């Protein structure tokens, strides 16, 4: 147990469609330990979300948490499905623990509704907006082999971290 290695862009595991989790496995010690290890990995790397394919496990599991204003509670999405996208969209700078040193602007629906099973095996139905909605969509993209760079519509916003800090940090946007 402990922090896991993060798969980086170029690793084929990041491009696979993740398998659904067998519901009977959710309560097992090994699966619960895996979720704890994912949270530890996310925190250690200063992320606010992590999907199982990013730790080389091609399963439909996402962990997320973001403290502070505009943040959201600890959330575990197992076998999630987005059942509603708002017509309103928002643009936000995104980054990814699997894509070192790069940021880019991505436009996504502002509000979504997602149905999933939590780590207790209980079905949930959640409406999320703002950063929460962005993070859910970003992490769920990992479950279908997509990275934020695939979602960028304006590649001219692709920015290295030092240049982001120099030129773009003042923008009212959040990096995930």
Question: Is the separation of the CB atoms in 117 and 124 below 8 Å?
Answer: yes
* Min CB(142)–Ni ion separation in Å: 6
* Min CB(90)–Ni ion separation in Å: 18
The nearer residue to Ni ion, 28 or 153, going by C-beta atoms, is 153
Question: Is the separation of the CB atoms in 1 and 35 below 8 Å?
Answer: no
Among 63, 76, 77, 96, binds Ni ion (CB under 5 A): 96
Tell me which residues are annotated as active site. Answer: 139
The nearer residue to Ni ion, 100 or 171, going by C-beta atoms, is 100
Which window, 95-103, 106-114, 123-131, 165-173, contacts Ni ion (CB under 5 A)?
Answer: 95-103
The nearer residue to Ni ion, 104 or 123, going by C-beta atoms, is 104
> How far is 105 from 93, CA to CA, in rounded Å?
4
Question: Is the separation of the CB atoms in 141 and 147 below 8 Å?
Answer: yes
160 sits in which H/E element: strand 159-160
Question: Is the separation of the CB atoms in 33 and 1 below 8 Å?
Answer: yes
* Min CB(64)–Ni ion separation in Å: 11
Contact positions vs Ni ion (CB under 5 A)? 96
């Amino acid at each position: 147990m402990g922090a896991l290695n993060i798969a980086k862009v170029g690793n084929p595991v990041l491009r696979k469609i993740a398998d659904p989790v067998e519901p009977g496995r959710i309560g097992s010690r090994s699966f619960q330990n895996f979720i704890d290890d994912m949270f530890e990995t996310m925190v250690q790397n200063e992320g606010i979300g992590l999907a199982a394919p990013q730790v080389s496990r091609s399963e439909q599991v996402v962990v997320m948490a973001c403290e502070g204003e505009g943040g959201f509670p600890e959330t575990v999405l197992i076998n999630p499905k987005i059942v509603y996208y708002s017509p309103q969209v928002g643009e936000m700078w995104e980054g990814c623990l699997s894509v070192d040193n790069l940021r880019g602007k991505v436009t996504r629906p502002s509000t979504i509704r997602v149905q999933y099973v939590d780590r207790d095996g209980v079905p949930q139905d959640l409406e999320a907006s703002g950063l929460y909605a962005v993070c859910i969509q970003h992490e769920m993209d990992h479950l279908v082999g997509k990275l934020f760079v695939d979602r960028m519509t304006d590649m001219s916003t692709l920015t290295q971290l030092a240049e982001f800090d120099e030129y773009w940090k003042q923008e009212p946007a959040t990096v995930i």
